[in-house]
Each structure stands twice: as C-alpha cells, then as structure tokens.
Amino acid sequence: MMYPYMTLADETEIVHSQIIEKDGMKKVIVNFERPTENGFDSARCELPDYKWTERIGYSDEEIEMFEELLHSNAHLLYKYAENGGIQIA
C-alpha cells in the first residue's frame, strides 16, 4: 500500500510505502510522479540506501532536489510508514 506524503508546486505527488522488512533491514519505498501531456514523469527511491530504482522524465537537478528532500524527511517517512501514513484529524 502507498500513502500520500506531499504535493510539490510542479504537481509532483510524493507517496511512500509501509515499512518493508528485507534481509533484516527496514525499507521504505518513495515514489515521485508528475502529470505530463503524454502521461507521467516518475521516479522511485528506496530508503535507507537512497537507491534510485526508477527514473523517467525527471532531470538530474530534480533528482538531486528529491534526494535532498528525502535526506531531510527520512525520519518522518519512516514514522508515517510505521503508522499507516500521515494521520490527519
């Protein structure tokens, strides 16, 4: 299951997975997706390794910005992943 995290000004939607335990490590998958005239730009990153497993349409500069965002938000993404997403009253 994927949970919404935030929407950026360029309409990029950021969503994350629940905690995925693999080889004794807790991982979170983060997807970035932006609508285009012909479909979507998309990128996927695995935490805690910051390993990009998919990248379509985003520039190097955008990926760098996403990685900075992930580094500063990883603790929140893990917290929300453990709790079933952001709990909004």
The full set of domain ranges for the chain reads 2-82
Percentages helix, strand, coil for the chain, rounded to the nearest 5?
25, 45, 30
Q: What is the pLDDT of residues 64-84, one digit of tens each?
A: 999 999 999 999 999 999 988
Q: Is the pTM of this model over 0.85?
A: yes
Q: Residues 80, 46, 11, 8: is their CA dihedral positive or negative?
A: positive
Name residues whose C-beta falls within 8 Å of residue 12's C-beta, 6 or more positions apart in sequence: 32, 33, 34, 41
Q: What is the pLDDT of residues 10-39, one digit of tens each?
A: 999 999 999 999 889 999 999 999 999 999
